[in-house]
Structures are given as C-alpha cells and as structure tokens.
Amino acid sequence: MIYIAADHRGFELKAKINEWLKGRGYTFEDLGAYEYAQSDDFVDYAIDVAQRVAVNPEHNRGILICGGGSGMCIAANKVKGIRAGLGFVQDQVHASRKDDNINILALAADNTDEMLAVELVEKFLETEFVQSENYLRRVEKITRYEREPAQPKKR
C-alpha cells in the first residue's frame, strides 16, 4: 500500500501526484491534508504516514510533501522501521531505494514541479532494493540500533 500526505505547502502538488497514481493504477490512501489550511503542521501528516508504513515497512511505501521536504523527512524518521529520504533528482531517488531501501519519499514542493515530482515518485515506486551483502548489512545496522540504541563510542 502507498500512503501519501502533504501539508499546506505541498497540498497542490499532492493532488497532482494523486491523479498520476490513480491514472497508473496504483493502490494508495491519501491521508490529508484534504483542504488547504495554512496553519496545519507537517509533523501530524508525517507521523501518520510513517506509522502506517511501519506496520509493514518492507512492503508499504509513503510519499510526503511539504515546502522544503526536510521537516517531513525528519519527523517520519522518528518512527521505528522508517527509512525516509529526500528526493531532488532521479538518480538520487534511485540510489536511495536501491542501496538504502528507503520506504518513504519526502518531496520539497517549493523546489519540485509536477513533472519532476511524478518522475521522482515513479523512480521511487519502481526501483527495487538490491539485497547485496553490504546493503543488507547497513540496513540491518540501522534496524538493530532501533531495537537497542548503542552508547557513543569513546575515541
């Protein structure tokens, strides 16, 4: 399942991505904002999407859109099991899925037009994680840290 949400700054771009997802036959759930409200908080949408993706983080995907993208990305990454990444160019999104197994894509509405947004979402959804030894090891280290945070190493 794909979950998508945006705050007021990503509201219009989300509507266009929703149209594209629907046209391509993707199954998705729009978690808001459902109307433009300048006083809304991106954190609420990010946590909602992240919690739903985290139910099955290897299968579910999320798309978050705010003005700069970073706020949504930071908030989503606070949820255990989430690996959210910012998307600015296709090669970056491809590498983030293939190498780091991101399960949420955060977009910056202020810097991403509709055409680029669709290209980034398509790359995110169509790229598979490459389960090579080194990539698996790195993702497992993150998962292990989420279970049992380690103390900083002494130098």
- Digit-coded pLDDT (tens) for 103-139: 999 999 999 999 999 999 999 999 999 888 888 888 8
* Model confidence at 87: pLDDT above 80: yes
- Give the model's pLDDT for residue 135: 83
Pick the catalytic residue from 66, 72, 76, 102. Answer: 66
List Cα–Cα distances, 119 to 6, 16, 38, in angstroms: 18, 12, 27
Report the percentage of the chain scoring pLDDT > 70: 100
Write phi, then psi, for 52 (nearest 5 degrees): -70, -40
Q: Which two tokens stand for residue 92?
A: 């970056």
Domain boundaries, the chain: 2-147
- 73 is annotated as an active-site residue: no
Residue 153 confidence (pLDDT): 79
Specify whether the CB–CB gap between 16 and 114 falls below 8 A. Answer: yes
3-class secondary structure, 6: strand
pLDDT reported for residue 123: 98
Q: In CATH terms, is domain 2-147 a member of 3.20.20.150?
A: no
Please give the residue that has the higher pLDDT: either 5 or 149.
Answer: 5
Mean pLDDT of the chain: 95
pLDDT-derived band at 37 (thresholds 50, 70, 90) equals very high
Q: Give this prediction's pTM.
A: 0.93
Kindly state the average pLDDT of the residues 81-91: 97
pLDDT of 155 strictly over 80: no
Res. 149: pLDDT tops 80:
no
Indicate the burial class of 81 (C-beta count within 10 angstroms; 0-12, 13-18, 19 or more).
Answer: middle
pLDDT at 48 over 80: yes
Q: Tell me the pLDDT band of 151, cut-offs 50, 70 and 90.
A: confident
In this structure, are residues 108 and 68 in contact, taking their beta carbons and an 8 Å threshold? yes
